[in-house]
Amino acid sequence: MKFAVVVFPGSNCDHDAYHAARHVLGQDAAFVWHKETSLGGADVVVLPGGFAHGDYLRTGAIARFSPIMREVQQFADRGGPVLGICNGFQVLLEAGLLPGAMLRNRSVKFQCEHVFVKVEQIDTPFTNACRPGQILRIPIAHGEGNYYAEPGVIERLEKNRQVIFRYTTADGAMMPEANPNGSAANIAGICNDARNVVGLMPHPERACELALGSADGYVVLESAVKAVTHGMFAAAR
Amino acid sequence: MRARVFVMLKPSVFDPQGTTVADALHTLGYASVTAVRQGKYFELDIDAKTEDEARRIASEAADKLLANPVIESYRIDIEKTEAAKR
């Protein structure tokens, strides 16, 4: 199966995602420049981390108008699995593929550290290989990861089980101290109504090998492989 | 025409940057400054015949790009300028 890794000017985790998909998981992977108008028959689309268009105006605000985003939108509408990591999550929010917005971290600092993230739901293409409630130790690196949505929207996300990842302590307790950026309800990642589009601030692709200090993120990308090979989200191509 | 677009976080949205600026002002001795909200300001020179047309274009630009309606609201002032001659 094939991963497409979208490259915006200013993406800087594109190679991390490509490396994880191709060299760690042994899958086919290709970079897709943001001016392209085809995803090249990919089974899974990854919007990587970085600073697309320099994060000018707002994070992801300009990237959402890149030509490739029309394809990403259509791929998502057809049920194709789309993963937005960090800046990629911010792009998905600006593009309206996921609800809500990002605010500056409550600390007003760029938070770069390993955090603990609890997998809240496993019925998505990016968590189906996880155990329910599994705790992942993966890194974050962002200045604007303070997830915000109006209370009614948060309520709907909770009700529809669209909160997929939450910042917790090492033993899974959801406490303010475990929240690195002030996100509403300790939200680290969410999915759309159809559950095929997932965005998260932490970087699973940077934690796929023990040599990198943690391999806990492996299961997220492994889930995508499992989802596609089992035909769970294969209708999109 | 020149459109001045002021984009602010909605009152219900917490503004960490504004709060930090307020703290800095307090450190400088400005105890009378009770709150700071930080926003963005844009000047758009628009080749338009009427103020209404300029306002419509600026408003569309704000809706599409300059502001994120989830967290921000905006205000537009239109000023007649000699922009068309430049």
Number of domains making up chain A: 1
Cα–Cα dist A107/A219, whole Å: 30
pLDDT category of residue B85 using cuts at 50, 70 and 90: low
ipTM of this predicted structure: 0.86
Q: What is the pLDDT of residues A90-105, one digit of tens each?
A: 999 999 999 999 999 9
Q: How many Cβ contacts (< 8 angstroms) between chains A and B?
A: 39
Q: Give the CATH fold of the B2-85 domain.
A: Mth169; Chain: A , (3.30.1280)
> What pLDDT is attached to residue B81?
86
Q: Which residues on B lie below 8 Å from A108 (Cβ)?
A: 16-17, 20
Per-residue tokens: B73 = 């609201």
For B26-52, give one letter per residue: b (16+ CB within 10 A) or e: eeeeeeeeeebeebeebebebebeeee
**What residues 113-132 of chain A have any CB closer than 8 A to a CB of chain B?**
none
Q: Which residues on B lie below 8 Å from A57 (Cβ)?
A: 65-66
Mean pLDDT of all residues in chain A? 96
> What pLDDT is attached to residue A233?
63
Q: Does B50 touch chain A (CB under 8 A)?
A: no
Catalytic residue among A19, A34, A53, A203: A203
Q: Which residues on B lie below 8 Å from A61 (Cβ)?
A: 65, 68
Indicate if A86 belongs to the active site.
yes
Indicate if A205 belongs to the active site.
yes
Angle in degrees, CA B55, B61, B63, rounded to 5? 100
Q: Residue A6 is part of which domain span?
A: 2-236
pLDDT category of residue B84 using cuts at 50, 70 and 90: low
Q: What is the pLDDT of residues A171-229, one digit of tens each?
A: 999 999 999 999 999 999 999 999 999 999 999 999 999 999 999 999 999 999 999 99
Q: What ranges do the domains of chain B cover?
A: 2-85
Q: What is the pLDDT of residues B11-66, one digit of tens each?
A: 999 999 999 999 999 999 999 999 999 999 999 999 999 999 999 999 999 999 99
Locate the chain B residue with the closest alpha carbon to A61: B65
Q: What is the pLDDT of residues A116-162, one digit of tens each?
A: 999 999 999 999 999 999 999 999 999 999 999 999 999 999 999 99
Bridge-based pairing of strands A82-85 and A197-200 is parallel
Q: Which of B9, B16, B65 lies closest to A108 in CB terms? A: B16
Q: Which of B12, B17, B65 lies closest to A108 in CB terms? A: B17
Q: What share of chain B has pLDDT > 70, as a percent?
A: 95
